Structure 1
């Protein structure tokens, strides 16, 4: 263990936590993460409008665009979706002047689109990202960045060649909670990390991922052939289109949807590049509705000793049977205490500050000192950090950093290298579950071992 190196990285962590925009994560630690600025165009003036195109106008894509438009000098000019109903709603919501299409390549040809938001099902993330970069567009791509680990380097290569800004949409990384936790860990508030755990539960009255199917959802209103053109050829199935997260051809299960958020936060806070060993188990315990992915998933991950942090273990749990609706947390445990991290709150618990109340030990101390033991002032056992009222949230800030990077020719933390390092262990968690084996991963070079 290189203590000097780790001390330097702690200081680096303090500096980066305080910065609104940080170049590619850990560039000094690994040349592979170097932020390449190739043929970068001139920055947008601060008051120049950034014109957006939305590709995938479902629940998350629409929420992304609505949040992006809360920022000044940002407007939407084009929307693409394979379901006609979403295109109609887009015009109702954002104006009849919108250009709408079912072919994303038509949107990418437009000269009035500066950046795109990709909110499609996961199986289209890679190709649309690459095509958008090649078309000279900045990219905000929803998590996970790719559908499988074999796709990661293709996106990274296209980004490096493009000179454009690319950020992945795990918005918690831009939260005040994550930034404070990063700062506290770098300051040594909980000592050296040795364990972490995360939990996510999701439940709704209609069922987990049981998104509503429009009455008019049919081959007349859905471009089904385009939807499946890069995967298995199947007859039209509205469940596979509107409830795509339940099926492996299009989605990435609980780990790709939710674990990836926890990996993103953990890697940002610790400066980690990722685990070297991945295992998972779980099952389809409740939602036996034809879905192909489990509704209870447990993941175990081994993080090696590295220049960024001591070795530690990570445990993640996800439960779609739980009725607690959206419970989520990340706990980081160190040699001196622990942190419970949420996007708007951090709770630090000290495990070494309490004095012993054992009368035998107190009497022994008196005998040794030959005098009455004077009581001491003790630090608090628990410190709670909460955001100020009026906080606009991680989602708003994440887009803010994206737009700032575009205007200032800067970088973002969650670039494709960081995004792939967060996505890979989530995707490999699925591989471990379905293949019933441990998976070995090289997080530095980002490849299977």
Structure 2
């Protein structure tokens, strides 16, 4: 358990001391502690899990750590996961293949939806109409038509819905947002983000259980709106490899990078997108790329470059670099760092080719146009790094924020509008590859242009 998170509500505010190393300053981000208030017995939130695969089980293991919440039911199309849910959370857990049985129960306040992507919209809409609050895994949508219906259902039913991109609750990303707004790197002009993997499991080759069959798996229910084909265990347990059920690397990983970028910059999303890539290595029957590159234009005046590589023979890595006119900011793991290169005191070397009078005039104009940040006093620190406390979990904070909103009925940190804008932007990459063309997006109206 994340004991640090259980005791305090972590926020990206302030630092506790700074250690100087080789001209750099390393700051420890601190928690603004708020004593955990006891939760009354009649104020407990009872929730259910819909979709108990890898992500669903991981989500639930984190969610149950939040004080005052209890898992009471699980729905999944594979019997083995239902049995394992009882092993994990108790034999009294109600289990079913049909999530409608969960939604009919009056003792359930909220649901976690961690189904394959093509079920997100219907499960979320059904849950909200049944009076349940919803935590829906990313990407929020599988098709562009999913977004407006989910947003409208949340508005009409007055239900809480939070999308599961946990970086929106991260103290590291909150610090990055603060740094960018403070002008720490000047005017932003470029964001470069990557998420590379080098393992077979990282490429969605999840283990298929030995008892997989039409008796242990509810194949028709799993298919839902997908094309009707004979039972295929790989499709069932490795569904991300096929666009009928998933959204490829764009929906699985690009969407995290978009969520983080939009949160930090305050942007609603890109206006144009172009993408390329293909199946470079995992030619195992899947129909989505294992390498994807994307370029995106933002009207705020910066470009975003994204990369996912499932064929990376090096170290698995994830990170974002924000490049500005006066420095760079990098997010890597549970840290954010800012680097600066001092602005030259003089214009380019060609000044020496002019007369002394002309050189003097050029130098004066240059210094007026590009004043030094610190003309007097100590020089600006060239490198700052902000590090989260050991054991910090943004996933925990994301669930804590969700359950707090369920109690208070106040807005969540990542609502359906934010989630749709992030997923809509991510899926532009798929659309660009399908059309072999640049695609345009209206980030305000949330429509293809």
Q: Deviations over 1:411-446 (max 9, x none)?
A: 112100000000001112101112211111100000
The equivalent of 1:351 in structure 2 is 341
3-state secondary structure, aligned to 1:214: coil
The residue aligned with 1:82 is 77
Q: Which runs of 4+ in 1 moved over 2 A?
A: 16-19, 323-326, 351-356, 358-362, 374-377, 388-391
Aligned twin of 2:251: 256
Which residue of 2 is the match for residue 382 of structure 1? 383
Whole-angstrom CA distance in 2 between matches of 1:418 and 1:265: 11
1:445 corresponds to? 445
Give the alignment of 1:304-319 within 5 angstroms. Answer: 304=299, 310-319=300-309
Superposition map of 1:136-151 within 5 A? 136-151=131-146
For residue 99 of structure 1, the aligned residue among 89, 94, 99 is 94
Cα deviation, 1:221-260, whole Å, max 9, x if unaligned, reads 0000111121211000001110000001000000100000
Aligned to 2:25: none
2:56 is the alignment partner of 1:57: no
CA contact (8 A) 2:119 2:224 kept: no
2:318 corresponding residue in structure 1:
328
Q: Offset at 1:342? A: 3.5
Deviations 1:335-359 (A, max 9, x none): 2111102352111111335768x99
**Equivalent residue number for residue 423 of structure 2:** 423
Matching of residue 434 in structure 1 with residue 434 in structure 2: yes
State the SS of the aligned residue for 1:236: coil
Distance, in Å, in 1 between the alignment partners of 2:408 and 2:270 is 33
Mapped contact 1:204–1:325 kept (Cα < 8 A): no
Q: Is the 8 A contact 1:171 1:398 kept in 2?
A: yes
Give the Cα separation in 1 of the matches to 2:167 and 2:198.
Answer: 20
CA offsets 1:80-129 (integer angstroms, 9 cap, x no match) = 00000000000111111111000011111111111000010000000000
Paired position in structure 1 for 2:6: none
The answer for the alignment partner of 1:27 in structure 2 is: none
Closer/same/farther in 2, CA of residues 46 and 162 from structure 1, 3 Å limit? farther
Which whole-Å CA distance do the structure 1 matches of 2:231 and 2:328 have between them? 50
Displacement of 1:154 in angstroms is: 0.5
Is 2:402 aligned against 1:407?
A: no
* Structure 2 CA distance for aligned equivalents of residues 212 and 389 of structure 1: 31
Partner in structure 2 of residue 5 of structure 1: none
Alpha-carbon distance between aligned partners in 1 of 2:447 and 2:291, rounded to the nearest angstrom: 27
Quick one: structure 1 residues 343 and 129, their matched pair in 2 at CA, closer, same or farther if it must change by over 3 Å?
farther
Task: Give the conservation status (yes or no) of the 8 Å contact 1:278–1:440.
Answer: yes
2:330 aligned partner? 340
Q: Distance in 1 between matches of 2:201 and 2:422?
A: 30
Structure 1 unaligned runs (5+)?
1-15, 20-44, 305-309
Structure 2 unaligned segments of length 5 or more: list them: 1-10, 15-37, 364-374
CA drift at 1:323? 2.8
d(CA) in 1 for partners of 2:329 and 2:130? 43
Q: In structure 1, how many angstroms separate the alpha carbons of the residues matched to 2:61 and 2:245?
A: 24
CA separation in 1, counterparts of 2:416 and 2:350? 58
Q: Indicate the RMSD between aligned Cα atoms, in angstroms.
A: 2.6
Cα 1:196–1:188, aligned 2, differ >3 Å: closer, same or farther?
same
| CA offsets 1:261-313 (integer angstroms, 9 cap, x no match) | 00000000011000010110001001111110111100010111xxxxx3111
